[in-house]
Structure 1
Amino acid sequence: MNNIFILSCIITLSLGWTVTLGNQCKCSDYVFQNDCVLAYVYGCIWNDASSTCSNLKCSDYIVDCPIATTLCAYNPPTDTCGTFSSCSSLSGTSVQACAIQNIHCTWVSGSNCADFNCSKFSTSNCPQECQKTQTACVDYQCQTLSMKQCAEVEAFTIYPICKVAGPTTCRSFVCTDFTTQDDCFVAYNSGKTIQPCVWSTTCVDAQGPTGYTAATCFTSTLGQYRWSSSSATSGSCEQCTGGGNGSYGMLLQVLFAIILLLV
C-alpha cells in the first residue's frame, strides 16, 4: 500500500495536477463572495442581505443575458431575458441570430439554433474558439497548425491557446510560458482538461489545490474548485461536485467571459 501511495505521488509530481472541466459548483456552494461574483458566467449572483450565493433569475439580467451558461436566452423582439431548455428550442436562421440569444448556441441549418460545437461550423464561419482547417472547423490542435496559423492564434485570441515554440513547432501554451503573475492562472491542455498554474517567482504547474488562496482558487480552476470559507484568511481550496458539461468551444467562451470579469 505504501509503495502504491509513493508511486502515485511520484506520478503526480512528474505529470503535474490537471483539472477536468464540467464540475463547477452549484451557486449555493460558493460561500466566498468573490467566487460568486466570478461565477456570474455560470448564472450565480451574490445576495448582500443574506450573504449567500444563489441562482440568478434570467429576468435580473440586463445587458449580459446571452452569456448566462445554458440558463438564459435573450429575446430580441421583446428585449427581455428568459429561461430556455436547449439551443434547439430557439428560433434562428444564422449564426449571429442564435449567438445573440445565447453565446453557447449556434446555427447549422433550418430555422432553429443548435448547441455550440466546433464541428458544427463550416470553414466559412468557424469562430475564434475553434480551429479552421482546409476542410473543417475543429477543436484546437496546436500541433497541426502551420506556423502562420499558430502565430495568428497566439496573437489574436483573447487568451493564448497555441504558441510558436520554434521554427517548425506549434504547441499548446504551458504555465511556464506566462511571464507575469497576472497571466499566471491556467493553461489549456486539450479537450476539457486544464493545467492550473501557480506563481512562485515564475509561473509553474500547480501540484494541487493546497497552494491556492481565496483570490486564486476559482480563477485557476475556472470554478471547478471553490474557497471553503466566507473569509479570505481561513479555509481551503476544495473541489466541486457539480454535474456541468460543455464542449471545448463552450468552455473557451466561459474562460473568455471570466477574463473579461477580471479586467
Structure 2
Amino acid sequence: MKLSFSDKNKKDIFSSIFQLLKSCTSTIHITFRTEELYIQGMDKSHICLFEIKLHSSWFDLYESSNEEISVNAQIFSNILSMNKEHHSIHISYKKDSDQCNIDFITEENKGDFNTSFMIPLMDIEHILLDIPDVEYDAEFSIYAKKMSDMLSQLLVFGEIIHIECNEETIVLCSKDISGEMQVTIPMNDLSEYAIGESIQTSYSLTYLSKMCMTTKLSSEIQFSISAEFPMKIKYDLGSGSQVLFFIAPKIE
C-alpha cells in the first residue's frame, strides 16, 4: 500500500481527522480498501462511534490491495502535525510488515527538509460494525465555527446538552449548580433544516464538543437527530469522502 498528497487544505484535514480520533481512542484501525481509505472505531465507553471514508480520488496517489493496519492514535497524530507547508505526505506499508512508514518530502529547496518516520504496528483484533441507514426526526446544517463556539460556551455550564427541535427553532441548553445557558437558533439562520416532528433529547456535551472542536474539516457540519437512534454528525469532504460521528443519547 502507498498513498501520497500535497494539497495544503487536504493535509490540514487529514491531520485534523487524526487529532479528533485520538480524543476518542488510543488505537486506530485503518483499512486500505481498493477504492478508499476506511476507518471505523468506538471509544472505550461505547458512547461515540466514528467512521471515516476517504475515496482514492481524494489523494494524489493511492494504491492498495485491501491491507489493514492498527496504529497508536497519539503517535500517528503527533507525526502528522509535524509536516510543514511545502511537504507532501507519503504513507506506505508492505504486506506482512510490522511497521508503517510516513515520509514528508519537499520537491523544492524551500527550507524544509525531507523527514521519515517509522511506526510499529499493533496486533489488535478489530470487528467492523454494520451501520444501518435510518430516518431521523430532525436534520440541520450549521457553520462549523458557530457550532464550535456555542458548544465551548455551553460546556461552561454543564456536561450534558439538552436539544429541542421544532418547526421554527432549535434550542440548545446546558445547566448545573453554577447556572444555565440557553441558545435559540432560528430556522432562518441554518443553511439546511428539515424536521418530521418535534423532538427533545440529551447528549454528552463533553463528547459533542470534542467532535466539533475543529473547523478545518468542512465549513459546515450536518446534524441528524432522533429520539430512537444516536445523533449523527457529518463532515462532507467532497469526492465521495466524509467523516461521521455517532453519539449515543443520554438515558434520563
TM (normalized to structure 2)?
0.24
Q: TM-score, normalised by structure 1?
A: 0.23
**Structure with the higher fraction of residues in strand conformation:** 2
Instruction: Point out the structure with the larger helix share.
Output: 1
